[in-house]
Amino acid sequence: MEELNKDAALAWALYWIHQQPKVYEKVLYELQGLNTPDPIKIAQLLYLTAICQETLRIYPVILFTFPRITLRSVNLRGYHVPPGTYVLPCIYLTHRREDLYPQPENFQPERFINRKYSSYEFCPFGGGSRQCLGQVFALFEMELILATILLNYQLKLEEKTPVTLSRRGFLLAPQGGVKMNLAADTGC
């Protein structure tokens, strides 16, 4: 399942990067301005990191966190939840809250440069104290893979039509994948 998560996240990232030419130009400029292939330096690139975060926000790989059981009465945004109730937080809906993410359907990496979100607002790896232990490595890996692809290959979306979301059990992925062509090899 880990492999499917990574593949889906990378497919979405490549889709959004190539769907919006300004995003592509900006991340490529940032990557080309880096004069070293040092993985740590790549992972510190602000815009590349913001693209990865926005990708995981707009289409988190999983829909829900693990269920919680309320120990006492809780008020969740105006709803009374009695003690002993199973609560299943929905990552997808949290990331679609207009009050947290204006125009939530739009891919806007800049929102992660301009604001730091709490682990209850941005939770693609779970929220609060129950976050995935591998989240830092997963984001690092995503950044390195994207940087390698973007610096070494020119890709082009095969179709400009929007890709639709498909649910595969607990996972969210692009329906039918993201079809891309190799436009040119940069020779690296």
* CA dist list (Å): 172 to 33, 73, 100, 101, 137: 33, 32, 21, 20, 20
Please name which of 33, 55, 58, 54 lies closest in space to residue 44, comparing C-alpha atoms: 33
Q: Which domain holds residue 60?
A: 2-185
> Structurally, how many domains does the chain consist of?
1
Please indicate, yes or no, whether the overall pTM of this predicted structure exceeds 0.85.
Answer: yes
Give the pLDDT confidence of 115-149 residue by residue, as tens digits.
Answer: 999 988 999 988 777 778 888 999 999 999 999 99
* CA dist list (Å): 122 to 19, 53, 56, 116: 23, 9, 9, 9
3-state secondary structure of 80: strand
Given a cut of 80, whether residue 65 has pLDDT beyond it is yes
CATH number of the domain where residue 130 is located: 1.10.630.10
Give the pLDDT confidence of 27-56 residue by residue, as tens digits.
Answer: 999 999 998 889 999 999 999 999 999 999
